Amino acid sequence: MNKTRQADLGTPGVGTAATVVVEIDGRKAEVTKGTSILRAARETGVDVPKLCATDSLKPFGSCRLCLVEIEGRKGYPASCTTPVEDGMKIRTQTDALARLRRNVMELYISDHPLDCLTCSANGDCELQDMAGAVGLREVRYGFDGANHLDAEVDTSNPYFQFDASKCIVCSRCVRACDEVQGTFALTIEGRGFESKVSAGIGESFLDSECVSCGACVQACPTATLMEKSIVENGMPDRKVVTTCAYCGVGCSFQAEMKGDQVVRMTPYKDGQANHGHSCVKGRFAWGYASHRDRVMAPMIREKTSDPWREVSWEEAIAHTAKRFKAIQEKYGRKSIGGITSSRCTNEEVYVVQKLVRAGFGNNNVDTCARVCHSPTGYGLKTTLGTSAGTQPFDSVMDADVIMVIGANPTEGHPVFASQMKRRLRQGAKLIVVDPREIGLVRSPHVEASYHLDLLPGTNVPIINALAHVIVSEGLADEDYVRERCDLDSWESWKAMILKPENSPEAVAKVSGVDADRIRAAARLFGNAPNGAIYYGLGVTEHSQGSTMVMGMANLAMATGNLGRSGVGVNPLRGQNNVQGSCDMGSFPHELPGYRHISGDDVRSQFEKHWGVTIDPEPGFRIPNMFDAACAGEFKGMYIQGEDLAQSDPNTHHVEAALSSMECIVVQDLFLNETAKFAHVFLPGTSFLEKDGTFINAERRINRVRPVMPAQQGKQEWQITQELAQAMGYPMNYASSAEIMDEIAELTPTFNNVSFAFLDEVGSVQWPCNEAAPMGTPIMHIDHFVRGKGLFVETDYVPTDERTNRKFPLLLTTGRILSQYNVGAQTRRTANTVWHDEDLLEVHPSDAEVRGIKDGQLVSLASRKGDITLRAKITTRVKPGVVYTTFHNPETGANVVTTEYSDWATNCPEYKVTAVQVAPASRRSNWQEEFAARAKEQGKIAIDAGR
């Protein structure tokens, strides 16, 4: 058997602790009650042959290879579909069974190409293993009769192929697509000998509904469905367990290696966030790490119009320190700052904020969470006491009603979406609150009970109206509130929520959602034994983002839906380590663990440990840095793995700020859009080289392990450490494990965490300390972290961004499955086959009045700027609303977004921009300038020998 294959117990566990005693091949064994004989035997070390069974799928009983004999029963039952019973006497190896199994295998092999030695699955093929296990020595039937050996190979998917000649029609792929992924893309077409796996009617995999998650490839016991990377490079020879570097689900993977080369990423079955599943990005889109665009040597230049000059690490770091020190001397201590990256490890982030506070001597540090989930931190801390989600992902399996607000899990958090869909197929009800008809609203075997398709910017009135119905109809859980919450705040909130302007009828006028539907959705949620709320950037990226987060916390408290499994308020975090980068003290007002910088006690702990005096004044947030830069007061920035020029709103303003600075340092894999404004480029490491931890959306601290050395010669924490030293601040870690030890020592919620502990237990959810030595899957169980839960009044203050005759439509933005954020990684993989340009979704009625045809170029103009892109006409958006993604820099979606932001946290209002759309025939002026700059910078790079 292949060295990297993960153990397979044949059928899923049954999730009970009760046991029975059985006898297997003469040996007594205590096994789990209700489990299959196949699993029970495998758990006790007896490998009953199997083909159609695997422990990620329900037993199917089609291959007849796992037959056993049971004393007192006639025939040979399939062990995968027969549960154990107390006292059962089972025999797995008899002459009769051996004969039967050989006959079965003979039939399979007689219609299978005998090219094992040259087959890509050689050494990792269950069919081959089973032929050996049953002792097959000859095949009596020749290949002369009808067979499938000439079946065509479908190579349409960029990452895996389907070689029908090797298919044994075990159905594992079909069941994986149904049960694990929930896409239902595959079927078995035809009957008997004609049966074959099909991805849609006469369609290739690429053209079918398949979302390329790879679950079928993983489930296939033969070489029929096989990764192209294995076909090309052969089988791996070692494995390293690590964590995906894309979204906040935080899937664990086994990186399968051949020498120093990754040949396959296999979702790790023991991964506590993903349980062996993955999406197309984590499983397949890792090729960017070795893309030729990756910069491998540090570079500097005086002016941004100069060519880059490759220099040694020593020179790059000494040059940067000299420039930063000179700027501080000339413009003052607060004239420089740093940005931490939510793509980097906690350890890498921690040292950047430490460099800023201890080395730069100010608190001008911020993170890309500013532009996504900062309102989550503010809103949940204010109401509940902790800046993080309340549940583990598995909690969704206990939810009765699931409310998804401003999130698109099937595209943004696909593995969690698959789990949620599994729960919905079991009967849980779904409410979707989103301006757009996201995939969850209607997909195979899943349909939302209510889709509240509100106008962008009206989340707060909707959540208030839902609460209004719940309170006015007596659906609130008053006992829970009395016991757990601050009663003064409850009374004043109740008075606010019962005001007529929060009634469904009044809110219908503002939000565009019928009062009846609001009322019905509220009743469904209010009556649910367990109601769970999941939300995303469609909640936070508004001028009332923090108000809405508090509105959801209010609703959850009012209905008693916090503090147990199946409930909660759960942010679906965008980036792999956005939770961690916030936890690590990346905000200008907070030290690690969300402790305010003005707190003398907290500051003095860090001061003692770091040997410096820390400024008690909060520093600049990102937008303040830009404003100060435009005012000539902020001159230098150390930017760790973040593309501000592409991802921040109001591109013209961002570009003006970046252009006005004297020393911009970009630490990244690629020369991103921000690097076009940079003076120093410090090459970073990919997740395959990092040694550290990421924290996912459920507060789970996962290990990221290096599968290869840092390709550019240094770990990122080492780069930051050397810069700190060059700035005159002594930073002397010997390893990233030491950095985590310091984090644990200084941060109460991390006290028990260390690399050694994580390696032992797999992962833990913080808080993990003396009070919770094994971590805290569910928050707020007996009481809220802040003591009593605080209801906060959530009066609706509409955004200043309004539609008018000139800009009559509302633009909202989002992302799609195959691409990731600004696309720096996914655009450098074959994922571009699914999305190579950003499109503008327009409702047919809005298209018709403007004379816009599907696929036509259109201009998208706001008060801030205009861009040109292609229109996609669809009823997924309602009339009056248009939608686009922001994955391609040349699209420039943020040229049109505004500077409006959340009142509490400055999180930009990406989700509401008043726009006009009209047919166009050319790129916008900004796009022309962008193309010219890209050409010039490309030329500079070539001149510099890159």
- Complex with ligand SF4: residue 282 or 683, whichever CB lies closer: 282
Residue 696, CA distances (Å) to 138, 306, 389, 408, 416 in order: 52, 40, 10, 17, 12
- Complex with ligand SF4: residue 269 or 864, whichever CB lies closer: 269
What DSSP state is assigned to residue 190?
A: S
Q: How far apart are CA 396 and CA 518, in angstroms?
A: 23
Q: How far apart are CA 264 and CA 230, in angstroms?
A: 7
Strands (E), 199-352: 225-227, 238-243, 252-258, 261-267, 299-300, 309-310, 336-340
- Complex with ligand SF4: residue 249 or 654, whichever CB lies closer: 249
* Minimal distance, residue 896 CB to ligand SF4, in Å: 27
Q: Are strands 261-267 and 252-258 parallel, antiparallel or unpaired?
A: antiparallel
Q: How far apart are CA 285 and CA 833, in angstroms?
A: 12
Residue 53 binding target from ligand SF4, ligand FES, none, CB below 5 to 8 Å by type: ligand FES
Residue 345 near residue 640 (C-beta atoms within 8 A) = no
* Minimal distance, residue 223 CB to ligand FES, in Å: 19
- Complex with ligand FES: residue 96 or 296, whichever CB lies closer: 96
* Minimal distance, residue 81 CB to ligand SF4, in Å: 17
For residue 509, count other CB atoms closer than 10 A to its CB: 11
* Minimal distance, residue 695 CB to ligand SF4, in Å: 12
* Minimal distance, residue 105 CB to ligand FES, in Å: 12
In three-state secondary structure terms, 125 is coil
Strands (E), 601-688: 636-640, 663-668, 680-683
- Complex with ligand FES: residue 12 or 61, whichever CB lies closer: 61
Residue 61 binding target from ligand FES, ligand SF4, none, CB below 5 to 8 Å by type: ligand FES
Looking at residue 20, its amino acid is V
Directed axis angle between helix 313-331 and helix 716-727, to 10°?
Answer: 50
Which residues contact ligand FES by CB under 6 A? Answer: 50-53, 61-66, 78, 80
* Minimal distance, residue 570 CB to ligand SF4, in Å: 15
Edge-first strand order for the sheet with 569-571 is 450-452, 429-433, 401-405, 531-535, 569-571
- Complex with ligand SF4: residue 112 or 323, whichever CB lies closer: 112
Place of tokens 């027969």: 82
Residue 404 binding target from ligand FES, ligand SF4, none, CB below 5 to 8 Å by type: none
- Complex with ligand FES: residue 218 or 243, whichever CB lies closer: 218
Angle, CA 624 vertex, CA 619 and CA 625 arms, to 5°: 80
* Minimal distance, residue 118 CB to ligand FES, in Å: 27
Residue 51 binding target from ligand FES, ligand SF4, none, CB below 5 to 8 Å by type: ligand FES
Residue 211 binding target from ligand SF4, ligand FES, none, CB below 5 to 8 Å by type: ligand SF4
Residue 220 binding target from ligand SF4, ligand FES, none, CB below 5 to 8 Å by type: ligand SF4
- Name which of 834, 839, 813, 841 is nearest 211 in CA terms: 834
* Minimal distance, residue 645 CB to ligand SF4, in Å: 24
Up-side HSE of residue 85: CA atoms within 13 Å toward CB?
A: 8
Which residues contact ligand SF4 by CB under 6 A? Answer: 167-173, 176-177, 181, 183, 185-186, 197, 199, 210-216, 219-222, 224-225, 244, 246-247, 249-251, 274, 278-279, 281-282, 413-415
* Minimal distance, residue 256 CB to ligand SF4, in Å: 15
Residue 250 binding target from ligand SF4, ligand FES, none, CB below 5 to 8 Å by type: ligand SF4
* Minimal distance, residue 171 CB to ligand SF4, in Å: 5
For residue 100, count other CB atoms closer than 10 A to its CB: 16
- Complex with ligand FES: residue 66 or 508, whichever CB lies closer: 66
- Name which of 93, 122, 138, 112 is nearest 1 in CA terms: 122
Residue 543, CA distances (Å) to 530, 579, 800 in order: 30, 21, 9
- Complex with ligand SF4: residue 271 or 375, whichever CB lies closer: 271
- Complex with ligand FES: residue 80 or 351, whichever CB lies closer: 80
* Minimal distance, residue 50 CB to ligand SF4, in Å: 12
- Complex with ligand SF4: residue 216 or 719, whichever CB lies closer: 216
Residue 176 binding target from ligand SF4, ligand FES, none, CB below 5 to 8 Å by type: ligand SF4
Residue 403 near residue 422 (C-beta atoms within 8 A) = no
Q: How far apart are CA 248 and CA 319, in angstroms?
A: 36
**DSSP alpha helix (H) spans, 400-528:** 409-412, 414-425, 459-472, 478-484, 487-497, 504-511, 515-527
Residue 544 binding target from ligand SF4, ligand FES, none, CB below 5 to 8 Å by type: none
